[in-house]
Structure 1
Amino acid sequence: MLLQPDKQFLIDLAHTKMPFGKYKDRFLIDLPEYYVVWYHNKGFPKGKLGDMLQTVYELKLNGLEALIRNIKKQYPR
């Protein structure tokens, strides 16, 4: 089974900021790697924010943060 990325999800991810905590108002893709890894070990929140943080974790793990930064430039809000 081939999974296709959800275009709107990635656009939303590119423009979503952390809603709470030490890194409040920082774009998710710009969160420090250690913080995202901490969430990976602790457990991601439920819902869309958790899905986005898990995606950020996978992107950072594979060195693909530039994809989201390019999306943010291509689809400004």
Structure 2
Amino acid sequence: MSPEDLEKLVTREMPFGKHKGCLIADLPGNYLNWFAREGFPPGEIGRLLALMQEIDHNGLKPLLAPLRRGQK
């Protein structure tokens, strides 16, 4: 994980599926947990979804708030 990955969570949109267009940081925990059970997609999107699932599962979503404030 890099600081850039955290920034991507609050700027990158989900490119497919039920929550297409939703920021990765705003995806519901049950959706992230589904990916954890069924398997994350390959590539960067899968890596970011896995990171967001870890953050959500451990109750660390408030750590992303300062990154959101920096958005325009």
Same fold (TM over 0.5): yes
Q: CA RMSD in A?
A: 1.3
Gaps of at least 5 residues in structure 2 are none
Matched, 1:63 2:59: yes
**Which residue of 33, 38, 48 maps to 1:37?**
33
Moved over 2 A (4+): none
CA distance in 2, matches of 1:70, 1:19: 24
Q: TM-score, normalized by length of structure 1?
A: 0.84
Bigger CA radius of gyration: 1
Q: Give the total of aligned pairs.
A: 72
CA distance in 2, matches of 1:46, 1:55: 13
Gaps of at least 5 residues in structure 1 are none
User: Alignment partner of 1:15: what SS?
Assistant: coil
CA distance in 2, matches of 1:27, 1:58: 16
Q: TM-score, normalized by length of structure 2?
A: 0.89
